[in-house]
Structure 1
Amino acid sequence: MAAQLNHTIVWCSNRSASAKFLTEMLGRPAPTHFGHFDVVELDNGVSLDFADANAQIQPQHYAFLISEADFDAVFSRIKDRGLEYSADPMGSRAGEINHNDGGRGVYFRDPDGHYLEVITRPYGSSG
């Protein structure tokens, strides 16, 4: 049996603002609208469908594999916006990036506190 992730819902307090934040940070095309979702398309056919939550938002983790050049652009946007960032998901290495698996990675938060991560090498890819 073959299975591929097609989409997931990202619950947020303001779907338009959250979807726009992600597209701006990742340099993606503007979100599209589908029903009551603001949809951010990714290159591997997966979409993040932003929806307004009617309850308290529980932060989730979303990791994006990007190129080295794109990492430079995203990291520059993080710094330009004055966002807090860390080399690890617990925030114990605040103000740093990591070099896991010979690449680079960094964690930062979206407007609702979701943990966003950009990495240039998949975990476990160094050997």
Structure 2
Amino acid sequence: MMKDQLRDFIDRISESRQVSDEDVTMLQGEILEGSIRSRLEVESLLALDRIVDAAESWGPTLTKLVVDFVVWNRAPQGVVSNDDAFWLATLLEVSGPSPNAMNIAYGILDEAGYVDVALLDFIMRGRQQARLSQIAA
């Protein structure tokens, strides 16, 4: 389930394709009240991330929100299960390993006590793709 405020925010940002610093502040504060509560919210925000031009504050905020949800708001805390790792890796890979997707994966790796191999595979594929694009350039 998604709050109406978040749905309205996503609709507005999808239409304008712009995320401002004010939007980020509003998202963190009054819309999400500091935390993501469901996979649907994560999925919606990551889909939004793929289509917007965003203020600098967007990437770090999105990263923190997703990391906190996956690592600390899912049981057991500090553990990223196979199910969660596979779900998230699949989402992060939709448009390829973007900088925000890679930052989210690395943030989870830094904070979690255990991360399933599915997310580690995503990180390795992202690193390999980055190396290949540097070689081709």
TM-score by length of 1: 0.29
Q: Which has the higher helix share?
A: 2
Q: Which has the higher strand share?
A: 1
